[in-house]
Amino acid sequence: MPTVLVLGGYGLIGSACCRALSMADFQVVGLGRSRHAAMAAAPNQKWIFRDLSVLDAAAWKEILKDVDIVVNAAGALQEGPSDDLEAIHATMLNQLCAAAPPTLRLVQISAAGVSLEASTEFFRSKARGDAYVAGASCDWVILRPSLVLAPDAYGGTALLRGAAAMPGVLLEVLSESLIQTVYIEDLAAAVVAAARGDIASGTIADITEKEARPLPELIRKIRSWQGFPKLRLRLRLPNKILDLIGFGADIAGRLGWRSPLRSTAINVLRDGIRGDPGQWVAAGGTLPRDLDATLGALPATRQERLYARLYFALPLAILVLSVFWLASGLVALVRPTAAASALAGGALPTWAVGGTVIGGSLIDIALGVAILWRPWCRWAALGMVAVSGAYLAGGTLFAPDLWIDPLGPLVKVLPSIALALIVWLGVEDR
């Protein structure tokens, strides 16, 4: 039984490849750096946990000892705290190819439209990686999928779902951009065919449906598939507004959020995502199904609609919580006397009132900042729940009159707790 090593085996494409290869009687081993993500994706599969971006040729030789086929499904959209495009798309492949024995077959999953002259570093770094693969002494096949649609909602596929499900208005964006799609199962089948040797070594082929369509039409088709009614109200989003959104998403990216609205994704969509399946069919591959057939194969469930409706609500909830806690802390620091007056005259000793106000203000500000930092977000949400509970308990004990205050300072804590719990439940790693 041939052994296949799948790089990035717990990602959207990588996990689909692992499943398809396993069903095709390959011995599958995944490689990635996150044990948590691997166990969530395939806990019973064999895994190697290493950071791909730092492996040299010697390390690769050790890893490849008992491997017959390598499928590279690793990648990143844009530079970020944990993503180095040159390292993961190019340098890693250079080291792997230098270590690869002539008997190895390497299946590189790239992207339709890659070019050294592309407008984004994503495509340029992918092109440099493809060049290393094409110069390798082992057998190799390069597959270049267009926009991948999958049952799992992540990245671009999640963004399209969210945009299509917006209530009351249908956004018209990048109307001139032409998009082709590919169903993830068709891409995984192409990987299996390449791994089996059914596709000749040296093949470079786009994996995509035949027809392209404008991005607004794609969004409308997805909305129809979701089962939502047609909308008469359509809002054309100017490119300048879209670029501003991308700028904001880039800032969020520096805080650890891998938003599909970052500038790279917007520029990729603006350029269009197109490919020619002719080379793939000529090499013996099966033409991927078109968009209508893809949507017909995907389940449009209640869970699907609920996720799509809440897609933009989660970042809004995080932003609202941050503003709420920052404002609460800053106002108390700016007006400590007014804040202390709410506690004065209660059971709390006078000497403790000032320290309670200042300490509480600093905690509020810290939590308001922490929830914006992706690695700390869930912990910050839990911290908000705990601190809110402490405020309620302290208020009840030392200033019970606040419960019947017309402005409801304690009552208003309850929806804040609920919102923080929603964020804690909703934020997860892919």
Q: Residue 170 gets which letter from DSSP?
A: E
**Contact indicator for 259, 249 with CB cutoff of 8 Å:** yes
At residue 192, the 3 state secondary structure works out as helix
pLDDT over threshold 60, residue 353 = no
At residue 148, the 3 state secondary structure works out as strand
At residue 136, the 3 state secondary structure works out as coil
Using a cut of 0.85, tell me whether the model's pTM lies above it.
yes
Residue closest to 278 by CA, chosen among 206, 355, 332: 206
pLDDT at 280: 97
Q: Residue 262 gets which letter from DSSP?
A: S
pLDDT at 274: 94
pLDDT at 336: 64
Q: What is the mean pLDDT of residues 51-80?
A: 91
What would the two tokens of residue 381 be?
A: 């949400």
The label of the residue with tokens 């932003």 reads 319
pLDDT-based confidence at residue 97 (cuts at 50, 70, 90): very high
- Residue 108 — φ and ψ, nearest 5°? -95, 120
pLDDT over threshold 90, residue 356 = no
pLDDT over threshold 70, residue 338 = no
For 104-142, the pLDDT digits (tens) are: 999 999 999 999 998 889 999 999 999 999 999 999 999
pLDDT over threshold 60, residue 343 = no
CB-hemisphere CA count at 13 Å for 245?
14
For 84-93, the pLDDT digits (tens) are: 889 999 999 9
pLDDT at 340: 55
pLDDT at 341: 57
pLDDT at 239: 84
**Contact indicator for 311, 165 with CB cutoff of 8 Å:** yes
Give CA–CA dist 321/420, Å, rounded. 7
Give CA–CA dist 211/135, Å, rounded. 32
Give Cα 49 to chain centroid, integer Å: 20
Give CA–CA dist 300/295, Å, rounded. 8
**Contact indicator for 365, 329 with CB cutoff of 8 Å:** yes
Give CA–CA dist 305/129, Å, rounded. 38
pLDDT over threshold 70, residue 324 = yes
Which helix (H) or strand (E) segment holds residue 282: the answer is helix 278-282
pLDDT at 170: 84
For 158-204, the pLDDT digits (tens) are: 888 888 998 888 888 888 899 999 999 999 999 999 999 999 999 99
**Contact indicator for 303, 159 with CB cutoff of 8 Å:** no
Give CA–CA dist 367/326, Å, rounded. 8
Q: What is the mean pLDDT of residues 404-419?
A: 82
Burial 230-239 (b: 16+ CB within 10 A, else e): eeeeeeeeee
Give CA–CA dist 144/205, Å, rounded. 6
Q: How much of the chain is helix, strand and coil, in % rounded to 5?
A: 55, 15, 35
Contacts of 138 (CB under 8 A, 6+ apart): 97, 100, 101, 102, 103, 104, 105, 106
Give CA–CA dist 314/364, Å, rounded. 20
**Contact indicator for 383, 325 with CB cutoff of 8 Å:** no
- Side chain identity, residue 323: V
Flag the least confident range among 14-23, 213-222, 401-410.
401-410
Q: Checking DSSP bridges between strand 27-32 and strand 147-149, what pairing results, if any?
A: unpaired
